Chains A and B, each alone.
Chain A
Amino acid sequence: MSHIELRNVTKVFGAKTALKNLDLQVEDGQFFVLLGETGAGKTTTLRIVAGLDKPTEGTMLIDGVDVGEWGAAERDVALVLQQYSLYPRYTVRENLEFPLKSKIRRVERDEIAARVERVARTLRIEHLLDRKTDRLSGGEMQRVSIGRAIVRKPRVFLMDEPLSALDAKLREALRTELKNLQMELGATFLFVTHDQIEAMSMGDRIGVLNGGRLVQTGTPYEIYNRPHNTFVARAVGSPPMNLLDGDIADGQAVVARSGTGFTVSGRVSAQVNGSAGKPLIFGIRPEDIRLESGGPGEATIHDIEDHGVEKILTLRAGETTLKATVPARERVRIEEVVRFGWDADKVVLFDRASGRNLAVG
């Protein structure tokens, strides 16, 4: 049973602030994903939880106990890294046994063998047990890494981009496996990635990090549909949300540089009541844009990406471009002029100056 909490954690490396007043909670049994670009502070957060780094300020609790002074060994966490996480010169079996042979764990020899067998079976690496780790493929290595983590039954699993070094197909397969494993074990996972698809598909909750600050925490649904600011809107979704400058005048959304006025729903216009003409950014997901003959907007099709199940169009409307995801059956040609509209209810309004979602306040 484990619950992780970081309270007001700041980490400074020399002149660089890696984390700034970070508050984070991971509930017991939760799959929590930290999403962010390189240098956003994801790995630093993980290392602080693991006890490999000490925060400059703030408190770190596991199950409500302040573990600030505890070393990595005492925290009973498991760490899976992108690479270099297997001990070279050791066989797979020795790697799996290694955490159990530590003096502070004191696991009986029979118990070690049994646990290694069980883990090998779970991860389907039984045939590799006596192989040296440098004779493994990338996917096998990561399986063994994960095995070395679960063999210990730790309180928390920490994963630092464990799938990033793998090729796309394997990544997808392991993603599912890892998620299933987490649910089976009922374990607490803190998973770090820069890949929004990984975050969306695996996380129970996602924390989006930007420049050492946690900009939003929520379920994948909340992150996707109610991004708190333009950063999150851009970070999640593929292709990302269209962000169009404009303002609202006479109950109509006027998108700048395209000369198009769109309808907005009452819910949306209520957010700006009394401040018509305020500089805004309209956020609209590509799948909420529709090609329709009577649509208010006019655009030229600039590019078509056919993904089989759907087509992703790049539309040129006046001086702006936007992406639209349309059903694959839609027959379009490049340079064709089309009319389009949007799902008025799905529009998200951001303040242009601060980038904040007006609905969130």
Chain B
Amino acid sequence: MAAVKTTSEVTLNRLAVVAVLIITIIFLAPIYWITATAFKPRNLATTIPPTVVFEPEISPFVKLFLRRSQLREQPTAEEYAEAPWWERLVFDGGEKIVRDGKGNVQLSGYPSRFMNSLIVAISSTVLAVGMGTLTAYGFSRFKVAGEQDWLFFILSTRMLPPVVVAIPMFLMYRWFGLNDTHLGLIILYTAFNLSFSVWLMKGFIDEIPKEYEEAALVDGYTRMEAFFKIVLPEAATGIAATAVFCFLIAWNEYAFALIMTRRDAQTAPPFIPSQVGSGLPDWTVIAAGTFLFLIPVAIFTFLLRNHLLRGMSFGAIRK
């Protein structure tokens, strides 16, 4: 009887559950660590053993967004009393907020780096997925002379660790004036992701029967109209999956961002660790920056989760 489980099967089953739990905890631990640290008071961030129970604070985020400097002398009681709540948090940490001549609060480098990350990751994802989809469609539907060679060539751009070409790329970018520009990073990440996008999308488009488009052609539509009305909606799953992968790669990229950008176009990944080096590192601020950095990816993947599940198993279930 298949329904009745023997004792050894039950034991095995329980062992499996325990193993899965342990693995999950191991995977989630760093995320917990960063999240917890992002809400800790500074003096609890580096205690040994780690503090698990604490009163969460918002101060790391305030500090993350504002430009601060070390306090040379304690603020007077009046100054402290007049300061808004968020400024007091900074005072409590032994720092003060840097203001310009008119007394306006100045932002730290983080918001602009975060924006840069968004601009670069979103633009390069849109470009890589868009161009990849069109290229894949071409390869999938038309006879392209030397198709296999072209596809291999496209794939081969991924066969070498990108960092190997970092120095020549840097020199080329300097020559073109693309260093430390959004455009420069967007081009770079689009180029990284394009080959991947073409291959993935080709797989998805190959799965869509070409009869659909041919029916549309016969029904009086142009190739372009057929592509947008029929192929694109059918390929939505593939596009979503590809977009998530491209976005993750662009969002997380560190090495080139570090080499190619300095300030104007610097993205969050090289910026966050760069804060470690100046003075005593405030780990809570770094954790807050990392925590916020996680959120767009989490939202993006969450929104596309259904597509992703289908996308990952493509070819196996369809038809």
Contacts and interface: CB of A to CB of B under 8 A. Distances in A.
Contacts of B218: 50-52, 72-73, 77-79, 158
A85 interface: yes
Interface string B202-224: 00000001011011111111100
Given A85-B215, A87-B215, A103-B221, 10 more contacts: A50-B214, A51-B218, A52-B217, A76-B220, A78-B219, A87-B212, A98-B219, A99-B220, A102-B220, A102-B225
Interface residues on B, range: 10 to 19
Interface of B: 209, 211-212, 214-222, 225, 230, 233-234
A169 interface: no
A293 B23 CA distance: 87
Nearest to A160: B211
A89 B233 contact: yes
Main secondary structure of the interface of B (DSSP, over half): helix
A148 B219 CA distance: 9
Interface string A119-131: 0000000000000
Contacts of A158: 218
A105 B219 CA distance: 9
Interface in A38-84: 50-52, 71-73, 76-79, 81, 83-84
B219 A99 contact: yes
Given A89-B233, A89-B234, A73 B211 contact: no
A152 interface: yes
Nearest to A85: B215
A50 B215 CA distance: 10
Given A81-B211, A87-B212, A71 B217 contact: yes
B214 A52 contact: yes
A139 B285 CA distance: 65
Contacts of A99: 219-220
B211 A102 contact: no
A107 B220 CA distance: 12
Contact of A87 (B222, B225, B230): B230
Most buried by A among B209, B218, B221, B234: B218
A52 B142 CA distance: 12
A309 interface: no
A83 B233 CA distance: 19
A182 to B, nearest CB: 18
A73 B221 contact: yes
Nearest to A50: B218
Contact of A72 (B212, B217, B225, B233): B217
A94 B217 CA distance: 16
13 contacts: A51-B217, A52-B214, A72-B217, A73-B218, A73-B219, A78-B218, A81-B215, A84-B209, A84-B212, A85-B211, A87-B230, A99-B220, A102-B221
Contact of B234 (A76, A77, A88, A103): A88
A79 B214 contact: yes
B214 A72 contact: yes
A89 B208 CA distance: 13
Nearest to B234: A88
Contacts of A105: 220
A104 interface: yes
B215 A79 contact: yes
B211 A84 contact: yes
A73 B215 contact: no
Contacts of B225: 102-103
B213 to A, nearest CB: 10
B269 to A, nearest CB: 39
B147 to A, nearest CB: 13
A148 B212 CA distance: 13
Most buried by B among A73, A83, A152, A158: A73
Given A87-B230, A88-B234, A89-B234, A73 B217 contact: yes
A157 B229 CA distance: 23
A83 B214 CA distance: 12
Nearest to B319: A84
A51 B219 CA distance: 12
Contacts of A87: 212, 215-216, 230
Nearest to B214: A52
Contacts of A148: 219
Given A73-B221, A87-B230, A98 B211 contact: no
B230 to A, nearest CB: 6
A77 B217 CA distance: 10
Nearest to B220: A102
Contacts of A50: 214, 218
Interface string A139-157: 0000000001000100000
Interface in A160-202: none
- 10 nearest interchain CB pairs? A102-B220, A99-B219, A84-B211, A72-B217, A84-B209, A79-B218, A73-B220, A72-B218, A104-B220, A85-B215
